[in-house]
Amino acid sequence: MDIDKMTSGHGTMDHTKMQHGSGHSMDMSGPGHHAMMIADFKKRFYVVLALTVPVMLLSMQIQQWLHLAISFAGSPYLLFALASVVFVYGGWPFLTGWLSEMKAKNPGMMTLIGFAVTVAYLYSSATVFGLKGMDFFWELDTLILIMLLGHWIEMKSVAGASKELELLVQLMPDEAHMVMPDMVHDVKTDTLKANDIILVKPGEKVAADGIILEGESYLNESMLTGESKPVQKVKGDKVIAGSINGNGSFKVTVSHAAKDSYLSQVVKLVDDAQKSKSKTQLLADTAAKWLTVIALLTGMTAFLYWYLTGQTLAFAMERMVTVIVICCPHALGLAVPLVVAKSTALSAKHGLLIKNRTAFENSRKITTMVFDKTGTLTIGKFEVSKIVSLQKALKENEIIRLASALEQQSEHPIATGILQKVKDLKIPVPKAENFKAISGQGIEATVEGKKVLVVSPGYLKENKIRTPDGFTANVTETVVFLIIDKELAGYIALSDEIRPESAEAITTLKQENIKSVLLTGDNSKVAASVSNTLGMDSFIAEVLPHQKLEKIKELQSKGGFVAMTGDGVNDAPALAQADIGIAVGSGSDIAAETAGIVLVNSNPKDIVSLILFGKATYRKMVQNLAWATCYNVIALPLAAGVLYNQGIVLSPAAGAVLMTVSTVVVAINASMLKVKT
């Protein structure tokens, strides 16, 4: 898995192309490759550092400052030779980067550095071979030294920003214990395929997504879903590759190959999000490109001004080089990508999967938060609380038996509740044929020659079927009706508890001045009860899936910036219509949703975390952009020499130090981003 093709900030060598704001590209085709590049900069830095002492001691300017007199036959040529090694070996990453940018017709930071060191080197070399003036080989040396150090530090910062994603990748174990007929055999994880059986021993990581065939244990899924408590898993339960096993051991029937695993999808999703560009990123890109042009024009203007007003060629060259170096749009180019790298990887670690960068950054604008009820604000685990027969010939057990025939085809929480009741009563589930879903209202099928429907109260209302005399349902109950051969036969009431975290989530939204609206297909009494208990602003009940889209439009027409949470299947049109669609509880089927953001758990507190994290991420981007812009506004005139008459003038090396410091400030600020849970 290529996890390092992430938006990065440094334009060093032309290897695999990573774009960032200042227009330079860089390839990082894996963590190992990235580590090699860091090591390469480190080695070049130390070689140049070793050559810095003799270069400085042989330089005329340094000798004047230190009152030294080191001169011998050929000393200028030795200085030229040492400086040439520094220029070629130390400057190589910048020179090749410059060439790549020129080929791509996309000048950026490498163009500026390459141009600056080349001008300094050519001018200084000319002074050795007869041009009148003083060389600045020592300034060239220290400039390259500081640029190498800056890139080395910055690359380590970028590696730090993406380490959460690397940790996710490392979750996948290399080997699995494959169960053969005669023995257990260790195989490479990437060779596993659907229906293979693997053994997971105590303390090991689960090697593949699958279903427990035998045994049970508690699994730690915190690095995958953000759920901190270990989750009990028994026979028939799904397990996710990368989760950590507790003290039990169990066998798993593998669901699919490693490349299709939940973890692989998460890594791909994060990778895609980091490579995608939002409006903030495009703004930074534009600013960085303009800064490149401004740096070159200002540098050349400074050169002409100082040279034409009587200063030496060396001084005029020095001003130009300093302006160009100090205005490298490094900090500006890194301002957004570093925060992107950090935020997408960090959110994935907390079960918040960002598919659309713009949607995530826009979460700060949310004014109305629309919640689906079942499985989001409520636990989503329905338990049968009442079975009522409306025909004397039918017993309660027959009502639940026929209903279970239809519900075995469904994964809805109501179906799970009915099937659990049948299992508890030890009733065999009959076979259903000609199965058909009635959109948003129930299901129908043929069972033992009878046409059976399991439907919502909304179906009865729409088809003008009168509810039975004496029908009552508890305000918190959800009811489904059984119709056999067009005759109302009975009903089943199920209860669903409100999540303990829901009230806290709604309170936090209120504090953030965000309205909370409940949108549900359930009856008005249940909706009102849930809404009032949680202190929500309003509720909309008995809504069919296609009507949810209209309700979202209504809220938008009132000027609201609307986010909606739903399960991403029935709610797909509404999620697409909302300004921000958030799919919840979609498990390992994360790629098929229309939503811009996917929450692995259905916990409403995660939705609040997402909004607060979106705001924090945007703040970091703005802080970084503000810092990078202000730094350039102040540094550029100083580099050009506007305060020269007041005795304040920056050398190219000092310019390089300031540029490096500005880049490191941006990197440190990005690394301080955290998810509040």
Determine the Cα–Cα distance for residues 84 and 81; give it in Å rounded to an integer: 5
Question: 136 near 61, Cβ under 8 Å?
Answer: yes
Determine the Cα–Cα distance for residues 343 and 440; give it in Å rounded to an integer: 37
* Residue 518 φ then ψ, to 5°: -95, 125
DSSP letter for 135, please.
-
Q: Which 3 state secondary structure label does DSSP give 36?
A: helix
Residues 6+ apart with CB under 8 A from 561: 362, 365, 366, 367, 368, 579
Task: Say how many CA atoms lie within 13 Å of 75 toward its Cβ.
Answer: 13
Burial-class residue 279 by CB neighbours within 10 Å (0-12, 13-18, 19+): exposed
Determine the Cα–Cα distance for residues 86 and 13; give it in Å rounded to an integer: 17
Distance spanning both ends of the chain, measured CA to CA: 29
- Residue 29, CA distances (Å) to 15, 38, 341, 536 in order: 8, 13, 15, 48
* Residue 216 φ then ψ, to 5°: -155, 160
Task: Say how many CA atoms lie within 13 Å of 32 toward its Cβ.
Answer: 3
To the nearest 10°, report the CA torsion of 528, 532, 536, 538. 40
The token pair at 5 is: 């093709």
The residue from 40, 141, 196, 372 that is catalytic is 372
Residues 6+ apart with CB under 8 A from 50: none
Q: Which of 602, 553, 595, 604 is nearest to 572 (CA)?
A: 595
Question: Residue 350's CB: how many other CB atoms inside 10 A?
Answer: 24
b/e string for 403-412 if b means 16 or more Cβ within 10 A? Answer: bbbbbbebeb
Determine the Cα–Cα distance for residues 61 and 140; give it in Å rounded to an integer: 13
Question: 423 near 435, Cβ under 8 Å?
Answer: no
* 372 tagged catalytic: yes
Residues 6+ apart with CB under 8 A from 285: 21, 23, 277, 333
Q: Using CA of residue 260, residue 171, residue 230, residue 673, what is the dihedral sign?
A: negative
Question: 93 near 24, Cβ under 8 Å?
Answer: no
Determine the Cα–Cα distance for residues 162 and 183; give it in Å rounded to an integer: 40
Active-site residue numbers?
372
